Structure 1
Amino acid sequence: MDLLSLDHPRLKQNNFDLLRLLLAMTVCLVHAYELSGFEQLRGLAGMLSAQVAVQAFFVVSGFLIVMSYERSSSLTSYAGKRVRRIYPAYGAVILLCAISFVVVSRQPIQDYFSLVWLKYVVANLMFLNFWQPNLPGVFETNKLAAVNGALWTLKIEVMFYLAVPLFVYCFRKFPRLPLLILIYCLSVAYAELMTFAAVQTGVNFYERLGRQLPGQLSYFMAGAFLFYYLPFFERHVRYFVIAAVAVSLIHFQFALPLLQPFALAILVLFFGLFLYAGNFGKYGDFSYGVYILHFPVIQLLLNSGWFTGRPWYFLFSAASTTLIGSIFMWNVVEKRFLLRNSHYVGAVEPTEAKVPVKEPARL
């Protein structure tokens, strides 16, 4: 895509705000079942997939973050936008959990604020969530003791942010299409190698490695591909979508690892760029808050013991509390760190005023 194409109307009027919220709520609902173990909620895991939702997030990131870098006047400008968008709310959630969860800890207060507590704060503020996922005495009776097990994707997202300047430099220096295809294929090969190693050895560690970088890079690159070739995608969108639906249906029965990331990207970006549903961004961007808040909210509700034998009350409470918290997080923390020219600052209907191109969002 050349710079003139950055003014493409679909980049100004799209469904990305709504799409990200739906993906975040999908992850929330699936985790509500997985963490609670309520048999009545099993159908959620059958109808929805947190894994696919996360992959779709990476597709959207590939499209929007590459666009953000291409639109940025400098590396400093790009980095500033990324930090403003992801870190204030992230840091607020880490510190809020670390300080307030003393009230639900089974440890005395003097043992709670310990070296383990400090390790949790430092590790999680640095996106090293795997280093210390638990707080002293917190959620020990829950199915899983981790405070916020959804944050592993934020580490990958940050690594995407760091890698984009290098990727774009290479795309400008060398033929873009062969590089996109090469990186995509190498990512798929790595993920498949880790899956094979996990099956052969029975060690789940290899499967976890496959979910990290570069295993998720194929989804990001698929999103970047459709950004750079958006005019071509738009001209042939009908054929792209038909092929993507066919691949997705076959993938349910016979794994097509080489084609599935690109097929998912086509379907995700078709919804994001076509069938415009209105300027949802005028209400705010609550998806990030939903994503980083839902896990500790669910853990707190389960820890309370109030919902034993009442799965649907639990599900409603988890979803509504998370959504309310995300609205609060958006208005009190996230929005205050946005630049004045952000799409979300004073967002209006496109018919009332010229809407700036949306800044990319994070998970």
Structure 2
Amino acid sequence: MSNAMKNDQGNNFDFLRWLAAFLVFISHQSVLAGRGEVELSFVGSSGKLGVYIFFSISGYLTAESWRRDPNVFRFAIKRFLRIWPGLAAVTIFAALVIGPMVSSMDAQAYYTDPGFLRYFKILWLKIVYGLPGVFEKNPYPVTVNGSLWTIPIEVFWYVFLVIIGSLGMTRFGGLFVVLHIAVIALAFNLHILTKEIFSYVEFGLYFCYGVCLSAGRMHWMPHKKLVLALVSSLAIVYHAIGLTGLAVWIFLPYAVVLFGSSSTPCLRSFGKYGDFSYGLYLYAFPIQQAMVFAIGAATSYALLFSMSYAVTLLLAYLSWHMLEHPAIRLKPYRRQGYA
């Protein structure tokens, strides 16, 4: 068993990844049924909270992966094998299974429409949301898989990590101080960013915080409670002066990584049957849309939720055992005794 696999066992990260996917699922289920966002104090929505958690974990664990094996080629292959096979499968599933079943067009018109082939641009991270005639009358119309927009952002920050890692900056615990100053400056100048750039920056800040926690782990790990008290105090101050977004940012990633790197009975074995979080994230939106299409948005939220989640969980289970885990086993690892 590789060192990377050993280091990922016995902690709470599998549970946190499932929780993040579940929060996104809750949010999307409400929106896709035409009932609005599930709002949360401070954060905005359960879906946004879930994505914040995902990016915090991703920044920390990918930086840890880089620390164990700082090789650009192997790092890129590992990230590709974790992201692309699942993305390719859900794209094909949506286009060839869900699309023909629910499209308002007949089969010939559907497959010959330029929008059908255009949908496969997703495979090289050009996210396309619609398929010909699909979900046109749903409360949230046209969009087949609205969750995929975060994946190009994730990959962008992988590239950023490789750049700063190659420059040796991931060894610098003080990187967090620089990032903190940048975030404070940004908090007063968000109006200068376009919506698309803001999304990259907003979620990238959580990713970078995770990277910083990896870089400075030797400094904060021996003083976990003291650092928790510090970030909690800063969060309270920032919220009191009206910088709620900054308050969430200073507290949440640290709390996520602190809890994730802990080993809590029951939770630490949460992923013993597999890590279904990525599959849940990938398949939830199209299944929820298809369920609304099939049984109607007026159906009770509980029924829509339970049926959508059961189908999504089944697909996530199959995705992990038939595709994701076999792909992960192909990841290259540094041989012991070699640089």
Question: TM-score scaled to structure 2, two decimals?
Answer: 0.84
User: Which of residues 71, 75, 79 is equivalent to 2:76?
Assistant: 79
In the TM superposition, what is the alpha-carbon distance from 1:178 to its structure 2 partner?
Answer: 4.6
Cα distance in 1 between the residues matched to 2:18 and 2:156 = 22
Corresponding position of 1:104: 102
Corresponding position of 1:170: 167
Does the residue aligned with 2:189 lie in a helix, a strand or coil?
helix
In the TM superposition, what is the alpha-carbon distance from 1:86 to its structure 2 partner?
Answer: 1.1
In the TM superposition, what is the alpha-carbon distance from 1:240 to its structure 2 partner?
Answer: 2.1
1:274 aligns with 2:262: yes
Cα distance in 2 between the residues matched to 1:327 and 1:81 = 21
Distance 1:10 1:256, change over 3 A: farther
Corresponding position of 2:243: 255
Corresponding position of 1:67: 64
User: Which of residues 88, 91, 102 is equivalent to 2:88?
Assistant: 91
Corresponding position of 2:335: none
Distance 1:85 1:159, change over 3 A: same
Does the residue aligned with 2:147 lie in a helix, a strand or coil?
helix
1:265 aligns with 2:263: no
5 Å matches for 1:259-338? 259-276=247-264, 277-306=267-296, 308-338=298-328
What's the Cα RMSD here? 2.8
Cα distance in 2 between the residues matched to 1:84 and 1:27 = 23
5 Å matches for 1:1-363? 12-38=9-35, 44-46=38-40, 49-72=46-69, 74-100=71-97, 101-113=99-111, 114-122=113-121, 124-129=122-127, 132-144=128-140, 145-172=142-169, 176-186=172-182, 189-190=185-186, 193-194=189-190, 196-197=191-192, 206-212=194-200, 214-248=201-235, 254-276=242-264, 277-306=267-296, 308-339=298-329
Checking the alignment, whether the CA contact within 8 Å between 2:279 and 2:320 is kept in structure 1 is yes
Corresponding position of 2:337: none
In the TM superposition, what is the alpha-carbon distance from 1:340 to its structure 2 partner?
Answer: 6.4
In the TM superposition, what is the alpha-carbon distance from 1:61 to its structure 2 partner?
Answer: 0.9
Does the residue aligned with 1:283 lie in a helix, a strand or coil?
coil
After TM superposition, the structure 1 stretch with the greater mean CA deviation from structure 2, 108-117 or 288-297, is: 108-117
Cα distance in 2 between the residues matched to 1:217 and 1:288 = 19
Checking the alignment, whether the CA contact within 8 Å between 2:116 and 2:131 is kept in structure 1 is yes
Cα distance in 2 between the residues matched to 1:165 and 1:280 = 30
Cα distance in 2 between the residues matched to 1:288 and 1:335 = 11
Checking the alignment, whether the CA contact within 8 Å between 2:187 and 2:243 is kept in structure 1 is no
Checking the alignment, whether the CA contact within 8 Å between 1:247 and 1:256 is kept in structure 2 is no
Structure 2: gaps spanning 5 or more residues: 333-339
In the TM superposition, what is the alpha-carbon distance from 1:165 to its structure 2 partner?
Answer: 1.4
Amino acid at match of 2:146: G
Cα distance in 2 between the residues matched to 1:11 and 1:111 = 48
Amino acid at match of 1:61: S
In the TM superposition, what is the alpha-carbon distance from 1:306 to its structure 2 partner?
Answer: 4.3
Deviations 1:19-72 (A, max 9, x none): 101111110011101111247xx7x43486211221121111111101111212
In the TM superposition, what is the alpha-carbon distance from 1:323 to its structure 2 partner?
Answer: 1.5
Cα distance in 1 between the residues matched to 2:237 and 2:288 = 34
Checking the alignment, whether the CA contact within 8 Å between 1:67 and 1:227 is kept in structure 2 is yes
Cα distance in 1 between the residues matched to 2:295 and 2:331 = 46
Distance 1:171 1:208, change over 3 A: same
Distance 1:68 1:311, change over 3 A: same
Distance 1:280 1:108, change over 3 A: same
Q: How many residues align?
A: 321
In the TM superposition, what is the alpha-carbon distance from 1:333 to its structure 2 partner?
Answer: 1.2
Cα distance in 2 between the residues matched to 1:333 and 1:182 = 40
Amino acid at match of 1:193: N
Distance 1:307 1:179, change over 3 A: closer
Cα distance in 2 between the residues matched to 1:170 and 1:215 = 24
Amino acid at match of 2:106: P
Q: Percent identity?
A: 27
Amino acid at match of 2:212: F
Amino acid at match of 1:60: I
Cα distance in 1 between the residues matched to 2:276 and 2:331 = 19
Question: TM-score scaled to structure 1, two decimals?
Answer: 0.79
Checking the alignment, whether the CA contact within 8 Å between 2:103 and 2:134 is kept in structure 1 is yes
